Structure 1
Amino acid sequence: MKRLAGRIILLWGWRRALVAFLAGALAVLGQAPYDFFAIGFVSFPILVWLLDGATVEPPTSFIKRAMPAFAIGWWFGFGYFVTGLWWVGSAMLVEAEAFAWALPLAVLALPAGLAIFFGLATSIARLFWSGNIGRIAALAFGFGLAEWLRATVLTGFPWNPVGYAAMPIPLLMQSVSVIGVTGMNALAVFVFAMPALLASNRTLKTGIAVALGLMILHVGFGVWSLTREAAAPESMLAVRIVQPSTAQNEKWDQNVRDRIFRTMLELSAQPTGEGIDKPQLIVWPETSVPFLFTDRPDALVAIGELLSPGQTLMAGAVRVEGAAGAGGEPRFYNSVVVINDAGEITDAVDKVHLVPFGEYLPFEDALARVGIKKIVQFPMTFSAGTERHPVTIANGVRALAFICYEIIFPNLAPRANNVADVIINVTNDAWFGNTPGPYQHFRQAQIRAVETGMPVVRAANTGISGYIDGKGRIIDALSINAAGVVDAIVAFTNAPGESILFRGHAGLLILVVLALLAGGMALRERLRVN
């Protein structure tokens, strides 16, 4: 191990960049759908050894001292995001004649931008570097902070956080309910990087003991959380999730929209199996209604005829709202509308967190002049909703709706503190086909369920649709590109939820402890040298 570490430390130039790139690319195997978490024990020790060799001759400026570490982190991140997000390019090929030119931007420019956060992580870590376990703590702190920034800066994009590699199954997801994603990101790197100490006898026993202790706590808490006796449910809700599997190139075709709508009605009207309750709530995916209700009032009549007394439909639809501004232009929203058994829209929740370049175009007028258009070619640009509120459905159940990738943001899904009982997630992943994208998106919904303690009902146009309980367990689901329904009984305790305050503070506390450990050991080492 010492010989391998030595060779990696002494790498230089393009060889150093290539090894960093490959280490990051391998780390993606820890994410869905591969879930080979053990790869973290390879990728992160390599990163540590690369950073061991990231030195410059003094005296030099702070920026010049930081650049070698930044470059290693950037190449690691570029490998991680290229191999983890290549499927985003599939969206450019749905209408290839219009957007094929943007394929390099999706496949290369997006990963290059996101890799800056990993470069920042390694730069921060190198400030507290030492020759012992302190550098492992420094790397964990750097990644914990950088991943928090990635979820926040420029609207945020926390896709495939490094901590998800430590949560491939429900048993290993439960810790996120205590320390949040920030804590999981930091501690996952701390444990994954610990084998780097095998190349040195310094603090090796301490490192092994700490890593084993954290893993035992992680697994033990998962076992306890999944096996403890659950509170008796105080109410039930029969839910039908509809997955129509509409091809993306047909979704807004005016010639087939009546067929698409008829398919939604037919799937919703299917009889339930023997012994299964008739659904009280039916959920359709994101923008599953292929026209504006204001243009087709007959569609609401058809929905009213579909629904039996007491049934409710939550459907993804484009919603238009009056005239806005001096020009009298209407505003359009990507929404979930609530429709009762009389065919009346009783409530609506608008998407708050829109996808840049997908649902709206930043600096639209200026970019349009040079021929750049948003990828999702609706006949309108969406406006962002101002707030997310729970909607009340059958049995007084309160549902909190998240549209598409809103579900990936931890801070958007607080645990029900007299706010909601269930999360409804509607999405359309047809843009990405049968690639890792839909599986990674579904994993995000699983983590939100565990993090919040609330069940998640997820309706996706082409999959993956399903019902996830509050422990992250998949109770039932439909596979990619399958057309059909999932009928599920969602149970609620109606107990007030726990505050996320402690979870937020726990993640912050972990970062502070890691920073103090890294800083303290680096300072002690430098004082000893001097």
Structure 2
Amino acid sequence: MAEVASWRWVRAEGWRGLLVSVGAGVIAATGQAPFDLWFLSLIGLGLGLLRVSLAGTARQGFWRGWAFGFGYFALALSWIIEPFLVDLARHGWMAPFALIGMAGGMALFWGAAGGISVRLRMGLWGAAVLLAAAEFLRSYIFTGFPWALIGHIWIETPVAQWAAIIGPQGLTLLALLFGAAIVMAGQRDWRGALVGLGFALFWITGNALQGAPEDLTDRPVVRLVQPNAPQHQKWDPAHIPTFFRRAIAASEANPRPDLIIWPETSVPVALDRADRTLAVMADAAKGVPLVFGIQRFEGRQIYNSAALLDSEGRVSQIYDKYHLVPFGEYVPFGNVMARFGIHGMATTQGDGFSAGPGPRLMDLGALGRALPLICYEAVFPNDVGAAPERPAFLMQLTNDAWFGQISGPYQHLAQARLRAIEQGLPMVRAANTGVSAVIDSKGRVLAALPLGVAGHVDHPLPAPASRTIYSVTGDLLALSALITLFFAIWAYQRAVLRRFAD
């Protein structure tokens, strides 16, 4: 690493150094959808890690890690301002604070990783492992927020197929190690070239794991309905009939499918007051089972639900969303906060939505049993893996109108693809404004409706693949790798330091 001295800008201090770290984070975030610039992302990761590893004190390591993370999350999570712009009067003032607060808050994990790595003198490789551990932690603590994980940069590449074995946390560790390897190779260090060889092996084996698309002859056909209701009009009485008529027309279209799916909260009335609306829907479905998103009440409690209108036109099964969005679907101490005019964005009720009892399968007859996922729930691999038994397919009902038009909907779609790979299960995804998609068990998008388009898409339902290793072990393999690498690098660095001391 002696040649690093010639990279003066890498060693910059003060505000200039802060900007270098922030810039490295922004470059690293270009690997996320919709950019998908994975190689540029690896360079950004390598530079950010190098900055941390060259810090002289733990405090300096913290701030370099924090600035690195701030740049990354400021771009990767820039869509976070979109929900606050739907109702400018109530929430618009929060938008800039939300982005700065979210980016700064998530960056604390990266800052802690940087400070600890410098304190323990872990070097470049240790910084990579500790940053992977930080990403692991932010996926779980405080209900978890695994959106824009570093490992998501692989979703458009064959390396993503390794998610079936090591999951998203394992993909994150790979990305950071390969980013560090780029820096090492740039310094003509043989270890960087060796890890680069490992990258080639992961790429080649990923291609082999993906295989060829399956033959879908004689498979049942699923219809995904996309009414395209912009969020600022979705609950406007003047526009509700238009969106409902679009969904009805799509459901009536011939030829007839085997299952129809409407998106999250696509029915404009609560379930307990929807008898006439459901009769219209049943008439449009013409005996085809129809899964739809709707709100429902139980006393003072309100649920974000998915329900099945069966071939007889009856609501025969209901699933209630249980992993709710903090400050979106509920507000902690909501009844108290409501007195000050603070509500969840998706509801004006005090406490917001109530959580359902947990994962449930929905029996869809000849199509098999599906695991319903409402919006945000598809972001959590551990939620998907918590199903009481292995389903035949994953079924996401979502309203991505909250996420704007630039990056949020595409990142949400990318995560749905990763869930399919992890579990070896197809995913059908009905999104209010898009992107609605049929995804096979290898994460390939077989059919889709673009963002901002009203209509429907029919496509055969892919078959499930064999059960994956990740579906059995979860994040255990990635966690084991993190712990093993941490202690191996820590022991190596201590040995090197003792040798120099002698």
**Within-5 A mapping of 1:157-172:** 157-169=145-157, 171-172=158-159
Structure 1 CA distance, aligned partners of 2:367 and 2:382? 25
Q: CA deviation at 1:371?
A: 3.0
Matched, 1:469 2:440: yes
| Gap change, CA 1:49 and 1:77, over 3 Å in 2 | same
**TM-score, structure 1 normalization:** 0.89
- Matched residue, 1:238: 221
The partner residue of 2:289 within 312, 337, 344 is 312
- Matched residue, 2:322: 352
Q: CA deviation at 1:378?
A: 4.7
- Matched residue, 1:269: 252
- Matched residue, 2:181: 194
Q: CA deviation at 1:248?
A: 1.2
Per-residue deviation, residues 243-280 of structure 1 (Å, max 9, x unmatched): 010121221123433333222111111123xxxxx211
Unaligned runs of 5+ in 2: none
Matched, 1:67 2:59: yes
| Gap change, CA 1:69 and 1:495, over 3 Å in 2 | closer
Per-residue deviation, residues 486-516 of structure 1 (Å, max 9, x unmatched): 1011132586666633353321222123212
Structure 2 CA distance, aligned partners of 1:86 and 1:402? 24
Per-residue deviation, residues 169-212 of structure 1 (Å, max 9, x unmatched): 3x2310111111111111210111212224645xx113311232
**Within-5 A mapping of 1:449-488:** 449-488=420-459
Q: Percent identity?
A: 33
- Matched residue, 1:45: 46
**Within-5 A mapping of 1:76-475:** 76-130=68-122, 135-169=123-157, 171-198=158-185, 200=187, 204-213=189-198, 215-227=199-211, 236-272=219-255, 278-309=256-287, 311-321=288-298, 323=299, 330-378=300-348, 381-395=352-366, 397-414=368-385, 418-475=389-446
Contact 2:359 2:383 in 1 (8 A): no
- Matched residue, 1:61: none
Structure 1 CA distance, aligned partners of 2:44 and 2:362? 44
SS at match of 1:492: coil
- Matched residue, 2:463: 492
- Matched residue, 1:60: none
Structure 2 CA distance, aligned partners of 1:167 and 1:498? 18
| Gap change, CA 1:376 and 1:436, over 3 Å in 2 | same
SS at match of 2:356: coil
Contact 2:378 2:419 in 1 (8 A): yes
SS at match of 1:14: helix
Per-residue deviation, residues 256-309 of structure 1 (Å, max 9, x unmatched): 33333222111111123xxxxx21110101100111132231012112212233
- Matched residue, 1:32: 33
Structure 1 CA distance, aligned partners of 2:161 and 2:84? 37
The range that moved more, 295-304 or 240-249, is: 295-304
How many residues are aligned here? 499
Structure 2 CA distance, aligned partners of 1:378 and 1:369? 12
Structure 2 CA distance, aligned partners of 1:493 and 1:410? 17
Structure 2 CA distance, aligned partners of 1:4 and 1:183? 32
| Gap change, CA 1:48 and 1:303, over 3 Å in 2 | closer
RMSD: 2.3
Q: CA deviation at 1:477?
A: 0.3
Structure 2 CA distance, aligned partners of 1:315 and 1:151? 29
Structure 2 CA distance, aligned partners of 1:167 and 1:404? 19
| Gap change, CA 1:428 and 1:378, over 3 Å in 2 | farther
Give the structure, 1 or 2, with the largest relative contact order (CA under 8 Å, sep 6 or more). 1
Structure 2 CA distance, aligned partners of 1:15 and 1:517? 34
Per-residue deviation, residues 336-375 of structure 1 (Å, max 9, x unmatched): 1111122211111111111111111112133233332222
Paired AA for residue 317 in structure 2: D
| Gap change, CA 1:365 and 1:415, over 3 Å in 2 | closer
| Gap change, CA 1:378 and 1:428, over 3 Å in 2 | farther
